Amino acid sequence: MSALSFDLFCRVVDNFGDAGVCWRLARRLAALGQSARLWIDRPEILARLLPALDVRADEQVLDGVRIGAWHRAEHAAPPRGGVVVETFACALPPAYEAAMAGRDCLWINLEYLSAESWVEGCHGLPSPQANGVPKFFFFPGFTPATGGLLREPDLLARQDAARARDRGERLRALTGLPAAPPADALCMLLFCYPDAPLAGLCAALAGLDRPVWLLVPGARPPAAPPDRGGLRLLSIPFVPQARFDELLWCCDLNFVRGEDSLVRAIWAGAPLVWQLYRQAEDAHLDKLEAWLDRARWPAPAAGLIRAWNRPDDEAVARALPAALREPAWSDWRARSRAWRDELAGQADLGQDLLDFCMRRHQTR
Ligand code: TRH
């Protein structure tokens, strides 16, 4: 079947995740030989991830993706016979939406990532529309009954090739740090929300009997305590998204947050601590439990991740040394590799979405 045309819509709510996921998906679809156009309302946020982006241009093509300013979509025609991807229920421009019915479009509602089991029952369900345009829910997820996770086909091979090279050299080339970490240092990435229990984390790290390099992309968190013991807290530049994986591959333990950095840290196959985006009535804590059930980390690691999300300084200070102690640490590392390999055996979200849309087109 010939290529499909995808129009993806991205409204930035806050942070980088909305832009990060949409951009990654658009690139993936273009790499799969599809025509991909991304409409975004806050190009300056995407520019943090994609420094080549010209934020003043109404339209431009990067990595095979046509990127357009949201206001231009008000007057744009939906692709005839194409796919419109509304991400995270962002609501399409009304005139564009009205034009979809006459142009034989398929409408996809791409949802947020969750490990909860109800996702499997909702993935792929139709959502009947008054204007008759066929609309379907599409859920990323961790099982074959969901839309899967975004992954480029060469990702794990690139990872192996990178890890075969000296870590200190890679880190210096990527971050511009003047020195490499000592060979026995525990190297950690810290990408978290402002309410993370940093005091507990830093107290525990300073008390370890080995040097610790805690790498913080962007500005140093205001709550960060000064260096002490073997702990060094280092500000590094916020790297372009295309190189973010390389940063994860340099670290022994990755603290990540939100959605996209979580998925990338899973692919890194190294221990990770996930901080969820906070939701009303602590709904994120239910999501965390569902994810912990699937991840099956050793108990000390799961305890640390729970403490990080409560957020509880004292509990983190107790849980971190326990998670790093043998044999829990080796078990955590082994399970990280095993889960990565297990998940990499499933179809990736880009291919899965494409197959889903192709099937829908063939049955019309
Ligand atoms: O920025 P986030 O907290 O985004 C969140 C989540 O998506 C959340 O689900 C959503 O509801 C909320 O936004 C609005 O975390 P996330 O999803 O990990 O996105 C961060 C992006 O930034 C990701 O694409 C990786 C990228 N990144 C870099 O490119 N370079 C860097 O140096 C770092 C630290 C991150």
DSSP class per residue in 13-29: -STTHHHHHHHHHHHHH
| Ligand 1 pocket residues where CB is under 6 Å | 13-18, 20, 49, 112, 191, 217, 238-239, 241, 244, 257-261, 277
pLDDT of residue 1: 62
For the CA atoms of 223, 228, 232, 233, the dihedral, rounded to the nearest 10 degrees, stands at 0
d(CA 221, CA 227): 13
Ligand 1 atom having least distance to the Cα of 218: 32
Distance CA 307, CA 326 (A): 20
Q: 186-190 and 253-257 as β-strands: parallel, antiparallel, unpaired?
A: parallel
Cite the beta strand spans of 117-245 per DSSP E: 135-138, 186-190, 212-217, 231-236
Give the CA radius of gyration of the chain.
21
Q: What is the pLDDT of residues 36-62, one digit of tens each?
A: 999 999 999 999 999 999 999 999 999
Are 5-149+347-362 and 155-344 equal in CATH topology?
Answer: yes
Q: What are phi and psi of 234, to 5 degrees?
A: -120, 125
CA angle 253–240–85, rounded 5-degree value: 100
- Annotated catalytic residues are 18, 259
Amino acid at 288: L
Q: Any idea where the domains of the chain sit in the sequence?
A: 5-149+347-362, 155-344
Q: Decide if domain 155-344 falls under CATH 3.40.50.2000.
A: yes
Report which ligand 1 atom has the smallest distance to the Cα of 191: 34
Q: State in Å: Cα 20 to ligand 1 middle.
A: 6
Domain 5-149+347-362 fold is Rossmann fold (3.40.50)
Q: What is the pTM of this model?
A: 0.97
Give nearest CA residue, ligand 1 atom 1.
16
**For tokens 């229920």, what's the residue?**
89
C-alpha dist (Å) from residue 166 to 172, 183, 220: 10, 10, 26
Q: Are 213 and 234 in contact (CB under 8 A)?
A: yes
Query: Which bin fits 130, alpha (ψ -120 to 50), beta or left (φ > 0)?
Result: alpha
Per-residue pLDDT of the chain (364 residues; tens, 9 = 90+): 689 999 999 999 999 999 999 999 999 999 999 999 999 999 999 999 999 999 999 999 999 999 999 999 999 999 999 999 999 999 999 999 999 999 999 999 999 999 999 999 999 999 999 889 999 999 999 999 999 999 999 999 999 999 999 999 999 999 999 999 999 999 999 999 999 999 999 999 999 999 999 999 997 777 777 788 899 999 999 999 999 999 999 999 999 999 999 999 999 999 999 999 999 999 999 999 999 999 999 999 999 999 999 999 999 999 999 999 999 999 999 999 999 999 999 999 999 999 999 999 877 6
Write the single-letter amino acid at 134. P
Element holding 355 (H helix, E strand): helix 349-362
* CA-nearest residue, atom 9 of ligand 1: 258
Q: Rounded to an integer, what distance in angstroms lies between the CA atom of residue 93 and that of residue 3? A: 25
Query: Which atom in ligand 1 lies closest to the alpha carbon of residue 13?
Result: 14
How many other C-beta atoms can be found within 10 angstroms of the C-beta atom of residue 99?
17
Check residue 227 and give its pLDDT.
82
Mutate to test the pocket of ligand 1, among 48, 88, 261 (most ligand atoms within 8 A of CB): 261
* Number of the ligand 1 atom closest to the C-alpha atom of 113: 9
- Which of 40, 259, 264 to mutate for ligand 1's pocket (most ligand atoms within 8 Å of CB)? 259
Residue of 20, 246, 9, 252 lying closest to 113 (CA atoms): 20
Pocket test for ligand 1, best of 11, 16, 87, 216 (most atoms within 8 A of CB): 16
